[in-house]
Amino acid sequence: MTVMAPHQIDATAAGFEFLAAPQHAGVRLDRFLTEQPEIVAAHLSRSRIKALIEEGRATIADIAARDPAKKIAPGDKVTLVVPEPAPAEPKGENIALNIVYEDSHLLVIDKPAGLVVHPASAHESGTLVNALIAHCGDSLSGVGGLKKPGIVHRIDKDTSGLLVVAKTDAAHHGLSRLFADHGRTLSLTREYLAFVWGVPDRAHGTIQTPLGRHSTQREKMAVVSEARGREAITHWEKAEDCGVASLLRCQLETGRTHQIRVHMAHIGHPLIGDRTYGAGFKTKVAKLSEHAREFVESLRRQALHAATLGFEHPITGEEMLFESELPEDLAQLRDALAEV
């Protein structure tokens, strides 16, 4: 594939250039392009090729060819310009939100498990952002960009709990500063409730190991060397001993992707229900009561809940503190583990 010069096409577009051989004499333009290996590798269908030709994005001997049926002659230089797809603009959707606080600057959401925070390739709709656009309209801060308006921090799709969203740009800048500081010098508190396998032999502890992308499984995070990763610090405290499992309170001093999940697995206490980082602990399930075993096996997410969120209001300076009780599924898990 040859990227064409900016004066010929949009600098952000991909340009393909081919030279017709004698065997291509009389071949239709759309067929000629569709059969090129580079076009096949780019996963461009014949219907897509036809549409691009009709848009004037194909040339033969530097002359626009808008007819997909135009015949090729040996020696013809054929080019095709494929513009990069424009990012889809999220649309407002009528998705119920559990709003625990709202003013003209921000709102605090109690997010259910299963709700994706912002659109991505696998989730273009049905996200928290889609719900926020419908709820806030044009008042939602645009600092986060097209896909992340108002989003200051995030929690995993299958983690439930508290999340603050900026409605104005001023609030967004102030909250971003708080979260970048991680509560070290500014007012920010984040506490999670985590049900983990096993019972730590201490009442509390701190995990301080760098995190980065897994070397072979790119969708996963892993404990890595300082050279490859970023600083990650998790403080934990044992809240309940459930025999083969326990309930921990975890406080974040940094905010890395999957931080609690990776850190707890690293010390041998992965989260219950975590199929990504806790798959090797299925033998623990056999030690549960029948009811608890059935419940754990039916749990479709990691047992992690963002229970406490505290921060200084970025505009008023007021100290805000919010707490969220365990959602129904984790409350039932707690009761089931107590049966052991």
Residues designated catalytic:
156
Residue recorded with tokens 């007819």 = 67
Give the list of residues 6+ apart from residue 155 with CB closer than 8 angstroms, or none.
111, 117, 161, 163, 306
- Give Cα 228 distance to the centre of its chain: 21
Instruction: Compute the residue count for the chain.
Output: 340
Residue recorded with tokens 């200084």 = 312
Residue 299: is it exposed, middle or buried by C-beta count within 10 angstroms (0-12/13-18/19+)?
A: buried
Residue recorded with tokens 């506490």 = 191
Helix-strand-coil split of the chain, %, nearest 5: 25, 25, 50
In this structure, are residues 177 and 324 in contact, taking their beta carbons and an 8 Å threshold? no
In this structure, are residues 266 and 207 in contact, taking their beta carbons and an 8 Å threshold? yes
Nearest of 241, 340, 328, 326 to residue 291 by alpha carbon: 340
DSSP assigned state of 145: -
Exposure b/e, 60-90, CB count within 10 A at least 16 = b: beeeebeebebebeeebebbbbbeeeeeeeb
Exposure b/e, 259-285, CB count within 10 A at least 16 = b: bbbbbbbbbebbbbbbebbbeebeebb
Structure tokens at 40: 């096949």
